[in-house]
Amino acid sequence: MIYPQNFEQKIGFDQIKELLKSYCISDMGIQFVEKIRFTSRYDVVNRLLDQTSEFMEILSVGKPFPGQDYFDLREELSRIKTPGSYIAPEALFDLKSSLRIIQEILSYFHHTEPEKYTELKKITEQFEFPGNILVEAEKIMDDKGRIKDNASSRLSEIRASIKQKLRQVNRETKKAFDHAQKAGLIPENAEITIRNGRQVIPLKASEKRSIGGFIHDESATGQTVFVEPSASFEANNQIRELENDEKREIIKILTLFSDKLRPHIDNLTNAYRFLGMIDFIRAKALLAMRINAQCPVVADEPVLTIIQAVHPLLYLAHQVQNKEVVPLDLSLDARNRILIISGPNAGGKSVCLKTIGLLQYMLQCGLPVPASPNSEFRLFARLFIDIGDEQSLENDLSTYSSHLLNMKFFLQHANRDTLLLIDEFGTGTEPQLGASIAEATLEQINRKQAYGIITTHYSNLKLAAEKLEGIQNG
């Protein structure tokens, strides 16, 4: 459970997701980013971190990883489930290219040592590579996206006839052009050109009836007309008929291929899910390397020890300005579950809260965090924050009323599996009243054995931390 509803926006995780999307090379990877969910399961978090850590190793020291042609064919595959439908030629080209990449990725892992990339290799076991479909695709389409001449004997015959007719058209047109040129019917420096897909001869407008043929066009000045010689006209018509035959034969070839592909659509869909997942994990690894993130210790212990942590977005912003980010250390355990941070530096205290909140959330979404790998994180089932102005304009609530609503929620739902992050605890009302309410609330939160980091300028909370077991001053 996370609170409030705009938790991700409050801590900056929405910006982390946008950065992740920028590292994806396919819509499939982006869809995985959009589906990122917070989890408190240790096995899931450790598996996700291990996957990302392994990919970071690939990017750092491994041989080059296949990183192109991550095409998403799932929509096209869904469309051709209907018998009688056929795959579009451009989709077939993308299918062939992406299946090759999937094959290369599988081969990449197959040719590494058995003990390496074990978590990534487990993902490859989630589907059976449809190698026969790739073989069939390569039989009928070349590497430029054109259906091969030998995709069928009929197509081979049609294209041979087209080539023969084209040679005939070239001969007849050249012959007519040379004759007209000798007769002075061609404008100076004019050449055979194309109009409406046909070879035509440029003639002086005054000579347009001098040779037999079909007038296709005239120049902007009207001084030149473009004539298709009658000798090549019939051959061109035959070419058009052959081209229509070619289109029909290609549809037949694609239909037969689609019939072979159709029984494998579910497995192909799983293959593309695998490709999207690889893209997603790759993006996580690239982002982790960009923000100098590590995989810390994640253990089912009542301990949160964060060492040399930095806010990733602040790190990136300072990097542009060649500025250093001051790292922070923090430790919470069963005896000191709540940390009270007091003092005048409101901006620094808020950054501390947002850093811890963002890193904890990133980790529980399976992302490495910019902190020492010796850091030890526990997982929380509930993450609650009260940072910044949660004033509701719609209900015309004051800032303080909003804080009170948040505190009410915290007291109702907090338990030993909760991490609370509260900025400027008890502010927004008369200081003495605010301090009293804050102290009473703190005592109740402490009794619930929740973990938390609380910033405040109230001295009574600092004093309470010295008296109450489970609370420490920072």
Q: Kindly report, residue by residue over 1-48, the tens digit of the pLDDT.
A: 999 999 999 999 999 999 999 999 999 999 999 999 999 999 999 999
> Which residues have a Cβ under 8 Å from the Cβ of 332 and sit 6 or more positions away?
303, 304, 305, 338, 339, 451, 453
Output the CA angle 332-336-337, nearest 5 degrees: 65
Whether the per-residue pLDDT at 360 is higher than 90: the answer is yes
What class does CATH assign to 13-144+253-290? mainly alpha
Least Cα distance to 374 among 341, 407, 412, 327 occurs for: 327
Least Cα distance to 353 among 408, 292, 425 occurs for: 425
Inter-axis angle of helices 265-290 and 27-34, nearest 10:
70
Separation between Cα atoms, residue 472 and residue 264, nearest integer Å? 61
Q: Output 122 or 197, whichever has higher pLDDT.
A: 122
Q: Output 439 or 388, whichever has higher pLDDT.
A: 439
Identify the pLDDT of residue 431: 58
SS3 category, 452: strand
Whether the per-residue pLDDT at 261 is higher than 90: the answer is yes
Identify the pLDDT of residue 175: 84
Identify the pLDDT of residue 129: 93
Residue 383 backbone phi and psi in degrees, to 5: -120, 120
Contact of 133 with 264, CB cutoff 8 Å: yes
What is the band of 392 on the pLDDT scale with cuts at 50, 70, 90? very low
SS3 category, 322: coil
For the segment 327-336, the average pLDDT, to the nearest whole number, is: 92
Whether the per-residue pLDDT at 397 is higher than 60: the answer is no
Average of per-residue pLDDT values in the chain: 89
Least Cα distance to 374 among 282, 303, 444, 317 occurs for: 303
Separation between Cα atoms, residue 5 and residue 392, nearest integer Å? 13
Own/partner long-range contacts of 157-166 (Cβ < 8 Å, ≥24 apart): 158/242, 158/245, 158/246, 158/249, 159/246, 161/242, 162/239, 162/242, 162/243, 162/246, 165/235, 165/236, 165/238, 165/239, 165/242, 166/239
Most confident of 65-79, 333-347, 412-426, 457-471: 65-79
What is the band of 347 on the pLDDT scale with cuts at 50, 70, 90? low
SS3 category, 194: strand
**DSSP string across 341-408:** EESS-HHHHHHHHHHHHHHHHHHHTT--BSS-TT-EE---SEEEEE-S----TTTT--HHHHHHHHHH
Most confident of 195-204, 249-258, 396-405, 433-442: 249-258
> Which residues have a Cβ under 8 Å from the Cβ of 454 and sit 6 or more positions away?
338, 339, 340, 341, 420, 421, 422, 425, 442, 461
Q: Please state the pTM of the whole predicted model.
A: 0.85
Tokens 């993902």 belong to 123
Identify the pLDDT of residue 384: 95
Whether the per-residue pLDDT at 277 is higher than 60: the answer is yes
Q: Output 473 or 399, whichever has higher pLDDT.
A: 473
Whether the per-residue pLDDT at 259 is higher than 80: the answer is yes
For the domain spanning 297-473, the CATH number is 3.40.50.300
Q: What is the pLDDT of residues 283-315, one digit of tens each?
A: 999 999 999 999 999 988 899 999 999 999 999
Q: Out of 108-112, 250-254, 335-339, 468-472, which region has the weakest mean confidence (pLDDT)?
A: 468-472
For the segment 330-337, the average pLDDT, to the nearest whole number, is: 92
Q: Residue 332: which region, alpha, beta or left (left: phi > 0; alpha: psi -120 to 50)?
A: beta
Separation between Cα atoms, residue 218 and residue 201, nearest integer Å? 11
Whether the per-residue pLDDT at 323 is higher than 90: the answer is no
Identify the pLDDT of residue 223: 79
Q: What is the pLDDT of residues 94-153, one digit of tens each?
A: 999 999 999 999 999 999 999 999 999 999 998 999 999 999 999 999 999 999 999 999
Give the burial class of 10: count Cβ atoms within 10 A of its Cβ; 0-12 exposed, 13-18 middle, 19 or more buried. Answer: buried
What is the band of 429 on the pLDDT scale with cuts at 50, 70, 90? low
Residue 357 backbone phi and psi in degrees, to 5: -60, -45
Identify the pLDDT of residue 391: 41
Whether the per-residue pLDDT at 428 is higher than 60: the answer is no
Contact of 367 with 52, CB cutoff 8 Å: yes
Most confident of 176-185, 302-311, 400-409: 302-311
Identify the pLDDT of residue 399: 66
Identify the pLDDT of residue 394: 42
> Which residues have a Cβ under 8 Å from the Cβ of 12 and sit 6 or more positions away?
311, 313, 354, 358
